[in-house]
Amino acid sequence: MTGMWTVVAAIGSFAASGLFGLWLVPFLRKIHFGQTIREEGPKWHNSKQGTPIMGGFMFIFATVVVGTLCVMMYNLMGNEEVMLMNAKVYSGVFMAVAFGAIGFIDDYIKAVKKRNLGLTAMQKLILQFLVAGAYLLTIYLFNGTTKSFIPFVGDVEIGLFYYPLSAILIVGVVNAVNLTDGIDGLNGSVTFFAAIFFMLIAGYIGRMGASIIAASLAGACLGFLMWNFHPAKVFMGDTGSLYLGGFVCALAYALDMPIMLILIGLTYILEMFSVILQVLYFKATKGKRLFKMSPIHHHFEMCGWSEVKIVLVFSIFTVICGALAFLFVAKGGVTVPSFSQ
C-alpha cells in the first residue's frame, strides 16, 4: 500500500500537467507572452521567436497540487512519517515555488519588454540566496542533521559549514538547471530521469514522502513534455527551470544526500561548467572559444546534432549517472545510513 501513493502521484501529476496545457498554452498565446530569442544564439532558433513561455506552470501546478496532496493522503492513512521528514518535503516544495517565483519575475519582465533580459544576475543571486537561506533555516529549526551521506564512506559530519556550503550548492545547482533549458525537451527530459532515480533511492531507504513527491515531479515533467518536446509548443521559461532546480535540490536534501546532486545532476553541472570554461578560456586567450557555443548543448547543435539527438544522448547520460547513484546507495559497500529524521 505504501507504493500506491507513489503511483497515484506519478499518474495524477502526468494528467494534471498535460491537461493544464490545454488551457495554459492558448492563454499564453492570447496575452502574447512569447519567447524573445537571444541574438547570440543559434540562428535557426529564430523560428522559435514568439513561442509561449512560462509553460513551467504546468508542472508547478501538478506537483504542488497533486504531489503534496498525495503526501498528505499517505500520512493520513496511518503512515505518517516523522516531523522533520514532512518538514523537508513541504518546505522543499515551498523552496521550489519561491525559486519559480523569481523565474516568473524574470520571465514577466522579458515578456513585457520583449527582450531577452529580465532581472540582472546580481538581483537573481541575492533573491536565490535568500530563498536557499530560508529553506536551510527551516531544516535547522526542525533540528535537521548536518551530516551528509557520501558513497563508500557513509554519514560524514560537516558541522556549521553545512549551511553555507549547502546555500552555495543549492544556488549553483538551481542555476545549472536553468542553463540546461536551451532546446526543446532537454530540461524536462533530464529532470524526468533525475526525479525517477531520486524516487527509487527514496523508496529504497524508506523515505516514502520524498519518493511520492519525486514521482509527482517525474509524472509532471512527462506531462509537460507532451507540449515541450520538439517542436515545442511552449517553453518552461525561467519560471519552470528555476522551479525544477529548487525541486531537485529539495529531493536531495530530503534524503540527506546533497552529494547526489552532483552525480544524479551531473548533466546540469556539466552544462554550467561549460559556460564557466568558455568564459575563462575566452578571457585567457583574448577572444578564442573552447566550445563553438555554450552551454554545451549548443556546441553539439553547432556540430550538426539535431535537438532530438541531443535530448536522447543527454537523457541516456543522466540515466547512467542515476543508475550509478542508486548502486552507490544500494550496493556501495556500506550499510544504508540511519538518517536522523
Q: Which three cell numbers stand for residue 23?
A: 488551457
Question: What is the number of other CB atoms lying within 10 angstroms of the CB of residue 165?
Answer: 13
Distance CA 182, CA 237 (A): 10
- Is residue 252 within 8 A of residue 260, CB to CB? The reply is yes
The answer to whether the CB of 28 falls within 8 A of the CB of 52 is yes
Confidence (pLDDT) at 67: 95
DSSP structure string for 252-308: HHHTT-TTHHHHHTHHHHHHHHHHHHHHHHHHHTTS--SSSSSSHHHHHHHTT--HH
Residue-wise DSSP of 127-180? HHHHHHHHHHHHHHHTT---EEEETTTEEEE-GGGHHHHHHHHHHHHHHHHHHT
Strand partners, 154: 150
Give me Rg for the CA atoms of the chain. 19
To the nearest 10 degrees (0 to 180), the angle between helices 208-228 and 237-254 is 160
pLDDT at 272: 96
CA 94 → CA 241, 250, 303, distances in Å? 15, 9, 40
Predicted confidence at residue 268, as pLDDT, reads: 97
Mean pLDDT by 10 residues, the chain (341 residues): 85 97 92 64 61 92 96 78 76 97 91 73 95 94 82 82 95 97 94 97 91 97 94 92 97 92 96 95 91 92 93 97 92 48 38
- Closest alpha carbon to 59 in 248, 268, 313: 248
Q: Which amino acid, 128?
A: Q
Predicted local distance difference test score (pLDDT) of residue 32: 74
Residues 199 and 214: beta-carbon distance below 8 Å: yes
Among 263, 272, 271, which residue's Cα sits nearest to residue 318? 263
pTM beyond 0.95, yes or no:
no
pLDDT at 335: 45
What's the pLDDT at 337? 44
> Which pLDDT value is given to residue 336?
46
